[in-house]
Amino acid sequence: MSRRVRVMLWMLGVPAAVSGVAAGCANAEEQWHETTPSLEDGGVVPTVPDDAAVVPEDPDGDAPDVLEPTRACSYDHWCPTPLPKSVESPKKYDLRAVWVAPNHEAFAASYGGDVLAWDGVAWKEIYADGPRFLRIWGASTTELWLVTETQRLFRGTKNAANVWSFAEVPTPGPVSTVWGASASEVWASGAGLFRWNGEAAAEPWTEVTPPTTLSDVIVGGRIYSLWGTGPNDFWGSGAQWSAPCFDCDGPQRALLVRWDPNAPATELDAGVEPVADGGASARRGAWKAVALDPRGNIDFYQAKASGSAGGQAQVMCRDRYCLQTLHAMPVDGSPDELSFSVFPVVMVADRAVNAIWGSRPDDVWLVGKQGSVSHFDGTAWSVSRITNTDTPIARPMYSVHGITDGTQSDVWVVGNNITLHRTVTQ
């Protein structure tokens, strides 16, 4: 088995109530399906629309825009939004991550070190020429957390004068993702799992050992992806080893953990291990290991940026290239016991998945290479049309995130010098 962690896991559900904003596109009616997915492998593979032909990818974003901001939205209600432009110094934004706040404000981070904010009308640059960003999460519309390509953590805050400032936040070790259950419950993970105690604390971070599910685990587990919408909907995924060291070859299994905000932090499975001396943290909360697919091994591959909403279901890539998704539903409403169904993935380009997010079990989105955007409606995956012409968009799509209040779905997709917004009435 490879030394690299094979983990790719995401989750979906229902976020907090929000008010509707239509960013330049008319609302559209959608009929949502309440069908229960089949447990059978394979199934009927949905067809790719004729107007979703594969074209060579344009990683540099040099191809002309297929959708101009002044034109209508696509057939599936994707609307382009203009990025900031400067005549004196033209800039392209290779956007790698997006996060949407409950009030519909959106924030995006670029590989070029820029951070953009959407205020409902336009994108604005709030930070420029920083390190290469790959992840973003917001504790609020005035506090952002970002992870860089070199596995460093940055924090941005906005003051009363609406001025943003960004600075690096040292961590006990390299981190690959950051997420939180609230502004006071922020976690970063990578070489370790770290809980933020606040900048005023004597020790800003507490290191926590993740719980595991294997009886023969020797060195424990690591968490490589975090996501959620609140204290009762906060998850992590990673791997656990039956090997003498993290870098050694040996049996590896996927690891899924769920945050229990009401559990005492001193519980055995909480694994509280402060970075410095001083005893276990008095703060409540503990991570709980969740049993995965009982039918056999799930060979995951490197956790990706994730999004979730509501805890109704989890969606995992069943294989390295995400040719199938494994949909896990709570049994009798308990998130600690799951039932599974398998569905074949349909995208414009094979082996293309970069990110996944969903508002509920019948409303899930995958994005990836060559302008790939696909939707799961509770029954099957299908390609979503993001242009209003016969010419596909060849640029990679890197991130998807959104919010919904049960009556309106507000979703953003970002990629190489492109942002797409979809607001529909459900």
Phi–psi pair at 283, nearest 5 degrees: -70, 145
**What does the pLDDT look like over 340-384, one tens digit per residue?**
788 898 988 777 788 888 888 888 899 998 899 999 998 999 999
Q: Exposed, middle or buried: residue 163 (CB in 10 Å: 0-12, 13-18, 19+)?
A: exposed
Q: Dihedral through CA 222, CA 354, CA 157, CA 203, nearest 10?
A: 10
Please state, in angstroms and as integers, the Cα–Cα distance from residue 226 to each residue in 136, 230, 290, 420, following that order.
Answer: 11, 12, 14, 24
CA 85 from chain centre, in angstroms, equals 28
* pLDDT in the model for residue 257: 86
Q: Is residue 173 part of a domain?
A: yes
Q: Is residue 4 part of a domain?
A: no
- Classified as helix, coil or strand, 195 is strand
| Structural contact between residues 146 and 156, judged by C-beta atoms closer than 8 angstroms | yes
CA 177 from chain centre, in angstroms, equals 10
Q: What is the mean pLDDT of each run of 10 residues along the chain (426 residues)?
A: 39 35 39 32 39 48 49 87 81 95 94 96 95 97 98 98 97 94 91 92 92 70 83 82 61 79 60 41 79 52 41 67 78 74 84 82 88 93 90 89 83 97 88
Q: Is residue 411 part of a domain?
A: yes
Find, among 120, 124, 162, 156, the residue nearest to 138 by Cα.
Answer: 156
* pLDDT in the model for residue 306: 44
Q: In 10 A of CB 63, how many CB atoms? A: 16
Q: How many domains does the chain have?
A: 1
pTM: 0.79
Please state, in angstroms and as integers, the Cα–Cα distance from residue 341 to each residue in 40, 48, 102, 242, 374, following that order.
Answer: 7, 22, 30, 27, 18
* pLDDT in the model for residue 246: 56
CATH number for 120: 2.130.10.10
Q: Is residue 1 part of a domain?
A: no
Q: Is residue 2 part of a domain?
A: no
Domain range for 307 is 9-425
**What does the pLDDT look like over 146-205, one tens digit per residue?**
999 999 999 999 999 999 999 999 999 999 999 998 888 999 999 999 999 998 899 999
* pLDDT in the model for residue 125: 96
Q: Is residue 3 part of a domain?
A: no
* pLDDT in the model for residue 14: 33
Q: Is residue 128 part of a domain?
A: yes
Find, among 361, 323, 355, the residue nearest to 340 by Cα.
Answer: 361
Q: Is residue 175 part of a domain?
A: yes
